[in-house]
Amino acid sequence: MSITQTDLTRINTFIFDVDGVLTDGLLYSFADGEQVRAFNIKDGFAIKHAMRQGYRVAIISGKNEPGVRNRLEQLGIEDIFLGIEDKVDTYQDYLYMQGIHPATVAYMGDDMPDYEVMQHCGYRACPADAADDIKEISTYIATRKGGRGAVRELIEMIMKAQDTW
């Protein structure tokens, strides 16, 4: 997909799904019921760097696990929406409450629960291993897979286009 500087220079908000975007989509389930995911340290660095530079970062995910929330809070993310069945309603409410214009949002999703919400954002991105339907509607397909640096790739690309990296 082609990218233009004007597409990237208006972005001031990043919204991410968790499973398959911030993680590789694998879920380790233990006998005690705990479910564990692995997060990429470089993605975490990019998120923290973006927030230090004044970008908003939010998470909208269908799952609600304490370990996921802990990791997101450790990164300093305040706008965390977990256990969300209807991502579009949460997305629209968030934008309204924060006064964010949809054209300024870069959203990265990887599978069908992200499909509808991605129709409402300014910049649609997905990891290299996203579902085909998501790739078809994405403005940008990362060269890296979910949980393997796709988030860092998106953030770094947009921030470099704005000379804020």
| 43 assigned to a ligand binding site | no
| 79 assigned to a ligand binding site | no
Chain centre distance of CA 128: 14
Q: How far apart are CA 76 and CA 2, in angstroms?
A: 32
Closest Cα to residue 72, out of 28, 23, 126, 125? 23
Closest Cα to residue 127, out of 106, 111, 112, 116? 111
Closest Cα to residue 153, out of 12, 45, 19? 45
CA end-to-end distance (rounded Å), the chain:
22
| 19 assigned to a ligand binding site | yes
Chain centre distance of CA 93: 17
Q: How many other CB atoms are there within 10 angstroms of residue 40's CB atom?
A: 20
Q: Which residues contact 2 (CB under 8 A, 6 or more apart)?
A: none
Residues forming the annotated binding site for Mg(2+)? 17, 110
**Binding-site annotation, residues for substrate:** 19
Query: From the annotation, which residues make up the binding site?
Result: 17, 19, 110
